[in-house]
Amino acid sequence: MNAAFIMRLQKHVERLAAQHEINLDTSWAKGVNQAHVSRARDRVHIPPITTLIRYAVALHEIGHVLGRYQDHYNEVVTERWAWEWARRNAIWWTPEMERFAEQALRGYQREREHRRIIWKVRPSQLARSRERG
């Protein structure tokens, strides 16, 4: 990837953040491996943009501040709409970026389903609790 093009993507993210008064933190600490947003302070933590994937992630995190349905109770909904915001506001969106976004969404969906299974009470457990009762 051309260094000038990557710089253009970095500047695009910086402009979006400045335009919407979002604090952009690109001081990526060693050992930190996740971008995230502190919505209470409108602070977005991202790695320096060196690839198209990092650009997509940066836009996605800004989408958590500016995108639709970010107060929804379902994390999958907030993630989906943050990715939608990223797609709509990107100056460049590639099939690789789309695959990454889809993979991330599948991960959130699996995690949500796993949590639902953990908290689901089985009929046999309910019967044993009644017997002890």
17 CB burial (10 A radius; 0-12, 13-18, 19+): buried
CA angle 34, 36, 40 (to 5 degrees): 155
Q: Which fold has domain 3-132?
A: Zincin-like (3.30.2010)
pLDDT in tens, 28-60: 654 545 676 665 667 888 989 999 999 999 999
pTM here? 0.79
| pLDDT(95) > 80 | yes
H or E segment to which residue 107 belongs: helix 95-119
Mean pLDDT value across residues 72-98: 95
What pLDDT is stored for residue 126 in this prediction? 47
Per the prediction, the chain carries an average pLDDT of 84
Q: What residues does each domain of the chain span?
A: 3-132
In which order are the strands placed within the sheet that holds 23-25?
Answer: 23-25, 43-45, 36-38
pLDDT in tens, 70-80: 989 888 999 99
Least confident of 3-7, 27-31, 51-55, 101-105: 27-31
